[in-house]
């Protein structure tokens, strides 16, 4: 029951999910992994042995796939959270409040949680700050601080982090927010989305003006269509920001009576209130189709309902089993018991029953399947409420008056009215990149099949590499049944679909999803700008809660096609000839006085002229503070070695400026500097500008230029985890088809 469907599935298990403690026994087989999870999630039941067997059955054969955090952490006794992502608390509009929120974010990311934040509560740039005689620096400046923190947490060896930043469409700094990531060195750890209100969309449709306000003050008035076009143009050229239809989210929220939502988790499938957490799991539809690729092919209704019921019970137990980075997150989770049960393998299941992804019939079938899942989940939660009690904030009259419940089947409404409901919200469709590979490379979430097959290089124990074909689960099943002939006409992939067909599938799924959906709408590079805008208007008009597109171009990079999917050979970097040091050099010495530090730091930068260009040759960093001795000597040696190798070494500036000190930074010359190292980076940048090596502040490279030249010759970006050229945009995030790495999970 637990055999791997493909070699890549076993490799993913060994890399990410297999529990191997330093001492004692761990997971010898994937069946041991299922047993570990089942036992951990059954421990608080009245009959743990019974439910352990039930849970084990649900997990076996990869039919129910808890999110990777649960698979890796449940039953290991590790001090980790089993929740995937969090929306943090409301950011106060005060310096102390902002940095307390930053501290909470750092603690959450240290445990591996991705976070979402609404920065709309911070006053705009230039607004007066009472009592200090200064002007506010605005939300974008503090987002830079968050970005530095995230980079530092990741560099310390913590699980990779991801952040979502939102800003309301009526915030005075919205235009700067929209264009912020057009600077390739800025906010690299953030996804950005604009909170779009119903009133704004009405203003766009009717050509009205739009006020940009904060605290009851109108700062500026713009044309709504011009602002919409700015969002669309930035997304067309840079793939960000996304849009979130925030009024629709709040209006359709089961908890409309108890919370206000203004942010989502990093991939957007979980709109959450302050301190809200998302707990994810997916039903693998590809494993539930009987008689695939025949006229009798069907999704087994009874099996699906039983599996959904077990999945809801398991996920509800995670709420009580998991640790949380902050007590506020635990309180929020247990007060509402929110879960996000979704699907993966939808596109494969559609192929098995003969439907073409994106067609009207496939959309109808998708809506039908997700309706079955929703009613089964709500009935299961109502029965859990009868057994264990409803979630603490359950208000029968208000809950049943929610839009979702008003559209729910009569028998479900009766069950909730009679017993209450255990979980305030139950359904969500999350990115499933890695667990989809784990399940044998089934199609991810509700995305279409990305590629029928591709080739990956596998490192063997003797350090040699072999090539391995990775085939989509449904494609392999079809070949096993019918041989290697041509695939039927209804087989389509992400690159051959019209964008409107993507929207059609998202809208069909959204009707029965009470939270939201993570999905990428792939657009061709040559799509007309007006047609591109129509994609977003279609998403708005058909009931979607948000929209994320990806159009490959010179800025965003190209998505790998089937023909490009083999990783190209990569040469070893060859650095420029090292620069010889003359007997005498010119230079400048700079002084940094870090607040609350007794001794200043002195930085000497010496230059040399090479091919008529003045460039930095070496650096000397000195301080009387003996606590600084070791790292100042190390920096002196390392940075000087980089300078002397030649080439464009300006990337050193951005690497230093991004370093975040968890003890706090300092304000220097009216600008927040996140650490002493960042201050040193600023000095180096200032010097490079003064000698003409850099043209302006922020003009330094964000990566080593030698590596950049190598990567620029490849068909797509290299994966930062495994190095394979298999990064592809899906479910709103670049994801590696080789190892499952995603910057958002």
Beta-bridge partner residues of 135: 128
- Tell me what the mean pLDDT of segment 231-237 comes to: 96
Q: Does residue 702 have a pLDDT over 60? A: no
Task: Name the catalytic one among 265, 284, 317, 423.
Answer: 265
- Between CA 381 and CA 388 the distance in angstroms is 10
Q: Mean pLDDT of all residues in the chain?
A: 88
744 is catalytic: no
Task: Name the catalytic one among 104, 269, 355, 726.
Answer: 269
Q: What is the per-residue pLDDT for 625?
A: 82
Sequence-ordered list of residues with C-beta below 8 angstroms from that of 338, at least 6 positions apart, any chain? 272, 276, 277, 278, 279, 423, 424, 425, 515
Phi, psi of 375 (to 5 degrees): -65, -40
Choice between 740 and 193, residue whose per-residue pLDDT is larger: 193
- Tell me what the mean pLDDT of segment 468-492 comes to: 92
For 47, 431, 713, the CA distances from 358, given in Å and listed in that order, are: 45, 19, 34
For 712, 717, 718, the CA distances from 736, given in Å and listed in that order, are: 18, 10, 9
Q: What are 547's two structure tokens?
A: 């929209």
- Give percent of the chain above pLDDT 90: 63
For 575, 680, 726, the CA distances from 639, given in Å and listed in that order, are: 15, 11, 32
- Tell me what the mean pLDDT of segment 51-74 comes to: 95
CB atoms within 10 A of CB 700: 25
- Tell me what the mean pLDDT of segment 136-147 comes to: 92
544 is catalytic: no
- Tell me what the mean pLDDT of segment 581-593 comes to: 88
Q: What is the per-residue pLDDT for 201?
A: 98
- Give percent of the chain above pLDDT 70: 88
736 is catalytic: no
pLDDT band at 710 (very low <50, low <70, confident <90, very high): very low
DSSP string, 457-512: EEE-TTS-EEEEEEE-HHHHHHHHHH-SSPPPTT---GGGS-HHHHHHHHHHHHTT
Are 432 and 69 within 8 A, CB to CB? no
Choice between 741 and 320, residue whose per-residue pLDDT is larger: 320
pLDDT band at 737 (very low <50, low <70, confident <90, very high): low
- Between CA 514 and CA 270 the distance in angstroms is 10
Determine the 3-state secondary structure of 246 from DSSP. Answer: helix
Are 499 and 527 within 8 A, CB to CB? yes
Q: What is the per-residue pLDDT for 742?
A: 67
Q: What are 549's two structure tokens?
A: 């597109």
**Counting runs of H as helices and runs of E as strands, what totals does the chain give?**
25, 29
Tell me: the pLDDT tens digits for 329-367?
A: 999 999 999 999 999 999 999 999 999 999 999 999 999
Least confident of 384-393, 512-521, 576-585: 576-585
Tell me: the pLDDT tens digits for 32-42?
A: 999 999 999 99
Q: What is the per-residue pLDDT for 148?
A: 85
Task: Name the catalytic one among 169, 267, 523, 744.
Answer: 267
Tell me: the pLDDT tens digits for 238-278?
A: 999 999 999 999 999 999 999 999 999 999 999 999 999 98
Q: Does residue 66 have a pLDDT over 50? A: yes
Q: What is the per-residue pLDDT for 743?
A: 61
Q: Does residue 557 have a pLDDT over 80? A: no
């Amino acid at each position: 029951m637990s055999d791997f469907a493909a070699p890549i599935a076993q490799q993913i298990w060994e890399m990410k999910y297999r529990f191997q403690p330093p001492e004692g026994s761990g997971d010898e087989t994937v069946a041991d992994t299922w047993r570990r999870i089942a036992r951990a999630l059954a421990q608080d039941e009245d009959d743990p042995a019974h439910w352990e067997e039930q849970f084990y059955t649900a997990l076996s054969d990869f039919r129910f796939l808890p999110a990777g955090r649960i698979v890796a952490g449940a039953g290991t006794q590790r001090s980790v959270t089993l929740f995937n992502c969090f929306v943090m608390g409301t950011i106060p509009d005060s310096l102390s409040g902002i940095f307390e929120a930053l501290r909470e974010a750092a603690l959450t990311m240290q445990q591996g949680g991705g976070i979402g934040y609404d920065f709309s509560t911070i006053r705009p740039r230039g607004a007066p700050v009472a009592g200090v005689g200064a002007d506010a620096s605005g939300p974008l400046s503090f987002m830079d601080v968050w970005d530095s923190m995230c980079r530092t947490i990741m560099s310390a060896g913590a699980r990779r982090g991801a952040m979502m930043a939102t800003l309301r469409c009526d915030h005075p700094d919205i235009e700067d927010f929209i264009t912020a990531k057009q600077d390739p060195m800025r906010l690299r750890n953030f996804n950005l989305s604009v909170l779009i209100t119903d009133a704004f969309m009405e203003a766009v449709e009717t050509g009205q003006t739009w006020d940009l306000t904060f605290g009851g003050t109108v700062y500026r008035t713009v044309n709504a269509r011009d602002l919409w076009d700015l969002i669309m143009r930035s997304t067309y050229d840079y793939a960000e920001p996304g849009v979130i239809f925030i009024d629709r989210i709040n209006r359709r929220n089961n908890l409309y009576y108890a919370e206000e939502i203004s942010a989502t988790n990093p991939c957007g499938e979980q709109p959450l209130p302050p301190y809200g957490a998302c707990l994810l799991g997916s039903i693998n539809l590809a494993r539930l189709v009987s008689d695939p690729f025949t006229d009798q092919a069907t999704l087994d209704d009874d099996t699906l309902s039983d599996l959904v019921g077990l999945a809801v019970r398991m996920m509800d137990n995670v709420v009580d089993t998991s640790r949380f980075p902050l007590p506020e997150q635990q309180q929020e989770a247990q007060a509402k018991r929110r879960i996000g049960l979704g699907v993966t393998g939808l596109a494969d299941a559609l192929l098995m029953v003969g439907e073409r992804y994106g067609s009207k019939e496939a959309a109808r079938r998708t809506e039908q399947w997700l309706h079955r899942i929703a009613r089964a989940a709500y009935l299961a939660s109502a029965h859990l409420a009868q057994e264990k009690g409803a979630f603490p904030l359950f208000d029968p009259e208000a809950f049943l008056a929610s839009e979702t419940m008003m559209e729910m089947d009569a028998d479900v409404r009766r069950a909730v009215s009679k017993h209450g409901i255990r979980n305030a919200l139950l359904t969500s469709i999350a990115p499933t990149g890695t667990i989809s590979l784990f399940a044998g490379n089934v199609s991810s979430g509700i995305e279409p099949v990305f590629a029928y097959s591709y080739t990956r290089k596998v490192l063997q124990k003797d350090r040699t590499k072999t090539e391995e074909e990775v085939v989509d689960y449904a494609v392999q099943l079809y070949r096993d049944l019918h041989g290697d002939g041509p695939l039927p006409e209804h087989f389509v992939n992400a690159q051959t679909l019209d964008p409107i067909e993507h929207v059609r599938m998202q809208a069909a799924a959204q009707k029965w999803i009470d939270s939201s959906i993570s999905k990428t709408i792939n657009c061709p590079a040559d799509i007309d700008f007006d047609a591109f805008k129509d994609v977003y208007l279609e998403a708005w008009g058909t009931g979607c809660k948000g929209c994320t597109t990806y159009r490959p171009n010179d800025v965003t990079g190209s998505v790998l096609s089937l023909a490009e999917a083999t990783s190209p050979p990569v040469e070893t970097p060859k650095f420029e000839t090292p620069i010889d040091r003359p007997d005498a050099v010119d230079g400048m010495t700079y002084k940094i006085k870090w607040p609350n530090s007794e001794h200043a730091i002195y930085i000497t930068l010496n230059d040399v002229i090479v091919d008529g260009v003045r460039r930095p040759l070496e650096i000397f960093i000195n301080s009387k503070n003996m606590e600084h001795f070791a790292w100042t000597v190390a920096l002196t040696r390392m940075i000087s070695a980089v300078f002397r190798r030649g080439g464009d070494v300006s990337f050193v500036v951005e690497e230093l400026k991004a370093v975040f000190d968890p003890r706090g930074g300092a304000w220097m010359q009216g600008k927040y500097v996140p650490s002493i190292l960042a201050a040193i980076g600023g000095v180096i940048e200032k010097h490079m500008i003064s000698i003409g090596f850099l043209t302006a502040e922020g003009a330094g490279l964000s990566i080593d230029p030698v590596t950049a030249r190598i990567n620029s010759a490849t068909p797509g970006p290299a994966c930062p985890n495994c190095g394979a050229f298999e990064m592809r945009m899906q479910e709103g995030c670049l994801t590696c088809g080789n190892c499952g790495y995603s910057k958002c999970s």
